[in-house]
Amino acid sequence: MANIIEDGINFGMGLFAYSREKIEEMVEKMVEKGEVQRKDAQSFASDLVKKGEVQRKELKQMITSEVHDTLHDVGLTADQHITKDDLRAIIREEIAAAKKEDK
């Protein structure tokens, strides 16, 4: 039962982190357990791979957007070079601001 729940969570979240091989292994285990019919296994695996690819693209777009917004918020553009010290200073400022908001 725990494995079924774990598989369900993996399907719903984090497919982007699974390789094609890992997805095929997971589907094969489901076939062995009778959770997926052999005739449907290939199309099921292909669908999961496609969903993973979509999730990867969405995650990349979200991260890119967040980085862009953060750079904009601190007055930088993507073509400007940031040193580690600059980045540390920005992070310290953001943490200090977040702590003030929590009070």
- The string of pLDDT tens digits covering residues 54-97 is 887 888 888 888 878 887 887 777 677 778 888 888 889 888 98
Cα–Cα distance, 55 to 61 (Å, whole number): 10
pLDDT of residue 1: 37
Average pLDDT of the chain to the nearest whole number = 78
Question: What share of the chain has pLDDT > 90, as a percent?
Answer: 0
Cα–Cα distance, 87 to 73 (Å, whole number): 13
Cα–Cα distance, 86 to 102 (Å, whole number): 25
Which structure tokens are listed for 93? 């400022």
